[in-house]
Amino acid sequence: MRLAQRIELLVQLGHYMQGQSEEWLAAKELAFRKNGWFLPEFIDLSVKNIAGNFLHETILKKWTAAYPALAADTNDPQLVGLVMAGNIPLVGFHDLLCIFISGNKALIKASSKDETLIQHLVEKMIEWEPETAGLISFATLLKGCNAYIATGSDNTAGYFEYYFSRYPSLIRRNRTSVAVLTGNETTEELEGLADDVQLYFGRGCRNVTKLLVPERYAFEPLLRALQKYDYLSEVHKYKNNYDYNLALYLLNNRFYMSTPALLLVEDSSFFAPVSQLNYEHYENLSDAVAGLVNNASVQCIVGHDYTPFGSAQSPAIDQYADGADTMQFLLTLRQS
């Protein structure tokens, strides 16, 4: 399958994902029933971002034009084992997109928490273009691959590095995102920050779990902005986390601020448990930001002059996870 055909097929997939066919609606409903973290509105948001930011013909052609090696379609595609995460809907789609566009083959180990949607979309691609069956497949064990891309926790990443040590690989560990506030944010920016914090229950690597705020920062406007997500307190799985963390702070007589769906706690850690947002004060803005740049725990920085408020969960097609150019890695396999 030539590059132009692959692009055409992906554009067709984007149209399908934005449609309302009974098959697609049923697949999304099943994904929610199998995983209570995947609220319908969160599934729809992920689908909207993928279709809108990745699967437009103009976007795909501009993206692929940045890699001249793609123009030479390979007759020797490499088999790439792909271990997908399952924290947010279709979180592994971009890796699959890169493998498919690069002209390599994907052998996917889907997460049990997020297998319904990705399997359905691949089935549709095979239905429209049967040749896809030889390019994308699923397995419970990834054997006989030429290279690997795997995403997991810090613990599982250690296992990935051990098992895949003899092969070219991209191994992704735990990451999270940080927002740097000055106190001059508008109401609209704070409402956007609320999205960055609480979309997908805050479980994605691009979710903000830590704030850096100036001394004597006034939290009241931010707390008001966060109230747009008070409805998350009605979700049983999420409320259990909230109640547990709240109980810990009450028992330990520790200061916190809260909305009905989020706890704000002064904590130096970049990572926060579900239902909690950490914050830390800074004295000098430049010094605070310097500590974030190139930090292995930070996926993106949200704030003025950085990722705009409200856009953390809507990356562009060339914004690669962990800053590692997935496409270049895959093209290197083709050339080896």
pLDDT score for 249: 97
Select 3-174+322-335's CATH number: 3.40.605.10, 1.10.3720.10, 3.40.50.300, 3.40.190.10. Answer: 3.40.605.10
Cβ-count burial 303-329 (b if 16+ within 10 Å, e if not): beebbebbebbbbebeebbeeeebbeb
Q: Quick one: tokens of 78?
A: 């490499």
Kindly report the CATH number that applies to the domain delimited by 176-302.
Answer: 3.40.309.10
Q: Would you list the domain boundaries of the chain? A: 3-174+322-335, 176-302
CB-count burial class (<10 Å; 0-12, 13-18, 19+) for 248: middle
The reported pTM is 0.95
Q: How does pLDDT run across 89-129, given as a tens digit for each residue? A: 999 999 999 999 999 999 999 999 999 999 999 999 999 99
pLDDT tens-digit map of 239-265: 999 999 999 999 999 999 999 999 999
Q: Of 26-30, 150-154, 195-199, 251-255, give the lowest mean pLDDT range.
A: 150-154
CA–CA gap between residue 267 and residue 305 (Å, rounded): 25
